Amino acid sequence: MDFTHLIGSWGYPGIFLVVVLGNIGLPVPEESVLARAGYLVWAGQLHVLPVLVVAIVSAVAGDTLGYWLGRRYGRAAVDRSAIWLRRPGHVAAAERFFRRYGVLAVAAARFVGGLRFLAGPLAGAMRLPLRSFLLGNFLGAVLFVPYAVGIGYAIGYGLGPYVARVQHVVAALVMVAVILALLSVAFRLARPAAEQPSPPAVS
């Protein structure tokens, strides 16, 4: 199914449906759909405020549903979602990233294509505190939705080449942050026992 053309036919309900599906663990092209919505805003077929509201609400709702699915079914729910990735080490790396950065990891996950649809189920399976998850979930949606919609709007003005450069820069920055986080975790795990602080002697 071409989800981007679905937006042209269904409008706001189509946005809601695709974004919810993309946040409960299904690999749908959420970013492309939001960019398409932004282009339709530029073309005058949709209005920017309803697009932003519907997309943010559906992103938060879908990710929260994914969280509860992960919390209810555990790692099995994550494995069902991750089967689309075909990268065995991806989930383990994402799990370490979530354990290290918590709220910020949930928010940043929206900007990483392979991690975006895993964020809710993985956070639930890891039993990340609900309050922390909701904070990161909302923060990520508020930052990501205008970014993705803005890409489509800018393309409407003929700024596609510049948008592509910005996308590459953002993706590179996110990947550098993820790599640094993973290196930090690996360094902590690899420290020799002799460097760990010894317990106080008992007199």
Q: Is residue 61 part of a domain?
A: yes
Q: Is residue 203 part of a domain?
A: no
Between these two residues, 38 and 203, which has the higher pLDDT value? 38
pLDDT digits (tens, 9 = 90+) for 1-15: 556 667 777 889 888
Quote the pLDDT of residue 66.
85
Task: Tell me the mean pLDDT in the region 14-20.
Answer: 88
- pLDDT of 67 > 80? The answer is yes
Q: Is residue 198 part of a domain?
A: no
Quote the pLDDT of residue 194.
43
Q: Is residue 200 part of a domain?
A: no
* Total number of domains in the chain: 1
In three-state form (DSSP H/G/I as H, E/B as E, the rest C), the secondary structure along the chain is CCHHHHHHHHCHHHHHHHHHHHHCCCCCCHHHHHHHHHHHHHCCCCCHHHHHHHHHHHHHHHHHHHHHHHHHHCHHHHHHHHCCCCCHHHHHHHHHHHHHHCHHHHHHHHHCHHHHCCHHHHHHHCCCCHHHHHHHHHHHHHHHHHHHHHHHHHHHCCCHHHHHHHHHHHHHHHHHHHHHHHHHHHHHHHCCHHHCCCCCCCC
Task: Tell me the mean pLDDT in the region 50-77.
Answer: 87
Quote the pLDDT of residue 52.
94
Per-residue pLDDT band at 173 (split at 50, 70, 90): low
Domain range enclosing 27: 3-191
Quote the pLDDT of residue 187.
63
Share of the chain above pLDDT 70, in %: 66
Between these two residues, 184 and 167, which has the higher pLDDT value? 184
Average pLDDT, the chain: 76
Q: Is residue 186 part of a domain?
A: yes
Quote the pLDDT of residue 92.
74
Quote the pLDDT of residue 25.
66
Between these two residues, 70 and 55, which has the higher pLDDT value? 55
Q: Is residue 28 part of a domain?
A: yes
Q: Is residue 95 part of a domain?
A: yes
Q: Is the pTM of this model over 0.85?
A: no
Quote the pLDDT of residue 58.
92
Quote the pLDDT of residue 40.
87
Quote the pLDDT of residue 193.
45
Q: Is residue 76 part of a domain?
A: yes
